Amino acid sequence: MTHYKSIVVLTGAGISAESGIQTFRASDGLWEEHRIDEVATPEGFKKNPALVQQFYNARRDALLHERIAANPAHMALAQLEREWLTRPGHQFLLITQNIDDLHERAGSEKLIHMHGELLKMRCELSQQVFTIHHDIGGDDICACCGEKGRLRPHIVWFGEMPLKLEQIYRALANCDLFLSVGTSGNVYPAAGFAQEAKQADAYTVEINLEPTKQNDLFDKHFYGKAGETLPAFVDSLLSR
């Protein structure tokens, strides 16, 4: 592993689930007894903005609960970034499909939230993004445009384009080690990242609870909880 210089990591719901964060949706298409199209689409927000705001306010409150904390897998990735980037000419990028801030709490900085962030809101007029730790209501006045009802969760909903894809694909095209952690590989475009890395001749590693449909795209597999498996892998990588 000594020849690797550019690492790209993709994380999914599995890594946050180990911290007590509820995964996005169950097999019945419901999340907290709401249909996905009611709370995770632009159409749902237009139809009933109060319901959508209430839904994400509850998710935000849950994320900020004192019992929620970064777990050893988050910590390991922050350590990997920190120590990897001290090596001359080495590069690192962490891409997460998760909307929580647990990677930041662990210390990760070279990070892209491709599906947005729960602790941020966005003005629909200017697209300016604000950090938020409180509830959003329909009467809240936007700081940039001065209008009511213009603030929406800074979340990429179904039917919307994930964030910073150009930067992501550029990193994938130049990486020589790709690590997928806690993601099913079922949701595109993230599901295509392993293939992009393979086309760049990167060595690909999967850490998951069980094999995924993309099993044949990975050169190495580790099955088990990320919080137990990932720290050992990072230690091994950094020791070479």
Q: Can you give the pLDDT at residue 186?
A: 79
Instruction: Read off the CATH number of the domain in which 151 is found.
Output: 3.30.1600.10
| 220 shares its domain with 186 | yes
Q: Can you give the pLDDT at residue 92?
A: 98
| 231 shares its domain with 149 | no
On whether residue 30 sits in a domain, the answer given is no
| 109 shares its domain with 183 | yes
| 182 shares its domain with 227 | yes
On whether residue 219 sits in a domain, the answer given is yes
Q: Give kind and range of the element (H or E) at residue 106.
A: helix 102-106
How far CA 20 is from CA of 17, 40, 62, 71, 146, in Å, comes to 5, 21, 10, 10, 37
Is 90 exceeded by the pLDDT of residue 202?
Answer: yes
Instruction: Read off the CATH number of the domain in which 219 is found.
Output: 3.40.50.1220
| 225 shares its domain with 146 | no
On whether residue 31 sits in a domain, the answer given is no
How far CA 172 is from CA of 91, 175, 237, in Å, comes to 11, 5, 19
Per-residue pLDDT of 114-123, as tens digits, reads 999 999 999 9
**Rounded average pLDDT over 109-133:** 94
Is 90 exceeded by the pLDDT of residue 145?
Answer: no
Question: What residue numbers bound the domain in which 45 lies?
Answer: 39-66+119-155
Pairing of strands 116-123, 111-113: unpaired
Q: Can you give the pLDDT at residue 1?
A: 46
Per-residue pLDDT of 151-181, as tens digits, reads 999 999 999 999 999 999 999 999 999 999 9
Per-residue pLDDT of 38-96, as tens digits, reads 999 999 999 999 999 999 999 999 999 999 999 999 999 999 999 999 999 999 999 99
On whether residue 176 sits in a domain, the answer given is yes
Q: What is the mean pLDDT of the chain?
A: 91
Which of 219, 217, 162, 170 is closest to 6 using CA atoms?
170
CA distance 125 to 147: 10
| 106 shares its domain with 123 | no
Total domains in the fold of the chain: 2
Q: What is the set of active-site residues? A: 115
CA distance 130 to 224: 37
The backbone region for 224, taken as left when phi is positive above 0, alpha when psi lies in -120 to 50, beta otherwise, is: left
